[in-house]
Amino acid sequence: MSVLKNKVAFVTGAGSGIGKAVALLYAKEGAKVVVSDVNDAHGQAVVDEIVGQGGDAYYVHADTARPEEVENLVAKTVEKYGRLDIACNNAGIGGEANPAAEMSIDGWKKIIDINLNGVFYGCKYATMQMLKNGGGAIINMASIHSITAVPGSVGYAASKHGVLGLTRNFGVEYASQNVRVNAVGPGYIDTPLLDMLGDDKKKALEKAHPIGRLGTSEEVANLVLFLSTDAATFINGSYFNVDGGYTAV
């Protein structure tokens, strides 16, 4: 299949984990993909992998906490491929872990800058470009903690709750102009980031999912892909869990 043939997409935080899986799947399905990350070596490695598999990809460094770098990402995408059809605002961090009242001001600002402001910048500049070429699809990476608390990580919970508000507003405001904006809420996904927690914590997280295991980046990417295609043209301003039943309990 090539459900994204002739489409142009960018993915932020695409140097590893979920972002990498999304970029690889987009390319497999025929899209021209702009891979973006703050880790240039990782980002370029994803581009090299896509090109090695016969795909078309290009790397652009972008710190999503900086609006001018996100604006440049969109500009470089259009400069390279002539248009923008799909944007996956995936970049994010876990941030500082402390009781809510003890979270540092710098820690709060950092996670809001990346996880919330960065998604706003991605939506803003992608939408502005998509309006020029007749529309497009934006997928924002939310979280199961967009609808649940995270004891010890108030910044993460607040930032991901905010992503839902952004998603709904952009989706509603630009629906009549053929720009669709949706959010995906992954459960705990088996990425290198979770390896830092240790085996006992990982096992506890596995048990928190009724399916009895952690998710994979590819499982999240499959949902992102669907929302990016013309099969999802009546879906807008919505949020979808991919969490093995975590939020159903």
Question: Which pLDDT value is given to residue 1?
Answer: 64
Cα(first)–Cα(last) distance of the chain, in Å? 36
SS3 per-residue string spanning 152-166: CEHHHHHHHHHHHHH
Domain ranges of the chain: 8-244
What is the per-residue pLDDT across 129-158, written as a single tens digit (0 to 9) for each?
A: 999 999 999 999 999 999 999 999 999 999
Tokens of 246: 């975590």
Helices (H), 16-59: 17-28, 40-52
CB burial of 199-231 (b: ≥16 within 10 Å; e: otherwise) equals eeebeebeebbeeeebbebebbbebbbbbbeee
Contact 129, 85 (CB under 8 A): no
In whole angstroms, what is the distance from residue 50 CA to residue 12 CA? Answer: 16
CATH level 3 topology of 8-244: Rossmann fold (3.40.50)
Higher-pLDDT residue of 68, 201: 68
pLDDT digits (tens, 9 = 90+) for 211-225: 999 999 999 999 999
- Note the pLDDT tens digit of each residue in 230-247: 999 999 999 999 999 999
Catalytic residue annotation: 156
pTM over 0.85: yes
Would residue 95 be called left, alpha or beta, if left means φ above 0 and alpha means ψ between -120 and 50 degrees? Answer: left
